[in-house]
Amino acid sequence: MRLLMTTAALATFASWTVPALAQQTSASGAKSQGAEPSLSEQLDAAAGKAVPSSGAPPAAAPEGASRGFFQSLNPDISVIVTGAAGYSQRAPLLPSGDDPDLKGSLTERSAGITLQELELGFQSIVDPYFRADVFLTIPNLSALEIEEAFLTTTSLPAIQIKAGIFRSAFGRQNGMHLHVQDFVQRPLINAAYLGFDGLRPPGVQVSWLLPLPFFVQLIGEAFSVSPPETSTAPGTFQPLPSFGGGSRTDLTYTGALKFFVPPSESISILGGLNFATGLSPGLTSGDTISHRGARTLLYGADFYFKYKPPNQAVTYFSLAWTTEYFLRTIGSTATENGLTDGGLYTQLVMQFARRWFLGLRQDLLGIPSSDVQPRISRTTLDLTFYPSEFSKLRASAGYEVPDSQAARIKELSLPHVNSFMAYLQFEVAIGAHGAHKF
């Protein structure tokens, strides 16, 4: 029985890939009793007009009813599996939650294989007024987390409201899931200023598309940020968290302005100015917590330039340059002075063949540097091959150089101050996964 079904399936598939001869003969056979209607008569029939000529009555245009799709009101379900194998001389100083975790420490080499992330996506239109998107994630074989779960209004004029748990519109990389990033690891500014998992707490967003002939969007958000878990293992480098301090009534607010300009068909420029404010939960070191409850002001600017000719016959070549800069001020508290620090990344990704991309990124933290955020530089080179739109293979090599004279680096007494790291990443996507933003 099974064999029979397989054979039948094979036969059908063969008849579908090789010529559609059978279909054609039967189609022309149906009209064999009379002369075939001329194109003009067929056009009349398609328009629903009476056909003067004799012969079989022409088939009316089917109105979809005859097609009988398998109807399912289930949401689109997708699973994205990202595996990674890697080696590093020591663990990265500022890993993000969805970076590959080789379970190493800052004092030893590590090599291993991990499931960098498993993402489950459920996406659907709710009704004529809302759509809903839910993304669950298991990063690095840890617990199941809600990466995002939000509803979006679709029918309010000019304004759109998003509510639930979602990635903040602050900057460019924060809004991206792992599988749309161009590198194996997230930029350092993510963990340094937005947190281990980026900024994706429960909140509400209102965005307004300005009534202009080009794209300008104003976004305002309010979030309830939970303080990060303070189980700071000794011998790890902890960033000073920007948000999540104070009481439960102290919300974190963000504002963003995004604009898009296409100077030509091949060139796109997307830019953003971002602002966020909240209270810092403070930095725990030993028994003391510094900067607890201090007001954080985080400013960001991001710039994305893309060159991609729309006509692939000319070339598949494309070039995308992204730069994002964060500047943070932490206000003074009763016992401590305020401080100012910042950081950036700039990356160039070149598509040099239909399925090949080469990317170079420079991360630079500590511009300016502060007592809590020393200078850290990381240079990363990534090569990506897409066998199809649904799978990808990526090789990455990076070199991390912290400021060896900074007090916070010295106290870690690293055997390798500078660290080399290399990863091989493999990713597949199954199921129906929605299209991504530009």
Partner 1 sequence: MKRISALMVISFAVVAPRASAEDRLNVVTTIETLADLSRRVGGDKVTVQSLSHGYQDPHYVEAKPSLAVALNRADVLVRVGLDLEIGWLPILVTECRNGRVQPGQIGDIDTSTFIEVLDIPTTQVTRAMGDIHPRGNPHFWIPPVNAVRIAKGIMERFQQLRPADKEYFQAQFDKFLADLKSRAPQWDAEAKPLAGLKVVTYHKSWTYVSKWLKLQEVGYVEIKPGIPSSPDHLLRLISLMKAEKVSALLMEDYYNRSIAEEVASRTGAKLVPMPSDVGARTEIKTYFDLVDAALRNLSGVIH
Minimal distance, residue 1 CB to partner 1, in Å: 16
- Smallest CA-to-CA distance from 79 within 136, 150, 7, 152 is with 136
Q: Which of 28, 332, 413, 418 binds partner 1 (CB under 8 A)?
A: 28
Closer residue to partner 1 in complex, CB, 17/33: 17
Does 209 bind partner 1 (CB under 8 A)? Our answer is yes
Closer residue to partner 1 in complex, CB, 233/314: 314
Half-sphere exposure of 51 (CA within 13 A, CB side): 21
Closer residue to partner 1 in complex, CB, 126/144: 126
Does 14 bind partner 1 (CB under 8 A)? Our answer is no
Closer residue to partner 1 in complex, CB, 68/234: 68
- Judged by CB under 8 A, the chain residues 235 through 274 that form the site for partner 1 are 258, 260, 262, 265, 268, 270
And the tokens for 363?
A: 């991360």
CA 432: distance to chain centroid? 16
323, β-bridge pairs: 303, 346
Q: Which of 47, 50, 73, 143 binds partner 1 (CB under 8 A)?
A: 47
Minimal distance, residue 365 CB to partner 1, in Å: 30
Does 19 bind partner 1 (CB under 8 A)? Our answer is yes
CB 324 within 8 A of CB 302: yes
Q: Which of 7, 42, 226, 418 binds partner 1 (CB under 8 A)?
A: 42
Residue 368: is the preceding peptide bond cis (ω within 30°)?
yes
Minimal distance, residue 102 CB to partner 1, in Å: 31
Furthest CA-CA distance within the chain: 99
Q: Which of 109, 285, 308, 346 binds partner 1 (CB under 8 A)?
A: 308
CB 356 within 8 A of CB 182: no
Q: Which of 30, 56, 125, 141 binds partner 1 (CB under 8 A)?
A: 125
Minimal distance, residue 221 CB to partner 1, in Å: 17
- What DSSP assignment string belongs to 35-86? PPPPHHHHHHHHTTPPP-S-SSPPPPPP-SGGG------SPEEEEEEEEEEE
Does 435 bind partner 1 (CB under 8 A)? Our answer is yes
Residues binding partner 1: number (CB under 8 A): 72
CB 162 within 8 A of CB 133: no
CB 282 within 8 A of CB 293: yes
- Smallest CA-to-CA distance from 275 within 250, 252, 300 is with 300
Q: Using CA atoms, how far apart are residues 352 and 70, in angstroms rounded to an integer?
A: 41
Minimal distance, residue 260 CB to partner 1, in Å: 4
Contact mark string toward partner 1, 268..307, x via CB under 8 A: x-x-------------------------------------
Minimal distance, residue 389 CB to partner 1, in Å: 7
Q: Which of 30, 126, 144, 156 binds partner 1 (CB under 8 A)?
A: 156
Q: Using CA atoms, how far apart are residues 145 and 120, in angstroms rounded to an integer?
A: 10
Cα torsion at 224, 227, 228, 233 (round to 10°)?
180
Does 215 bind partner 1 (CB under 8 A)? Our answer is yes
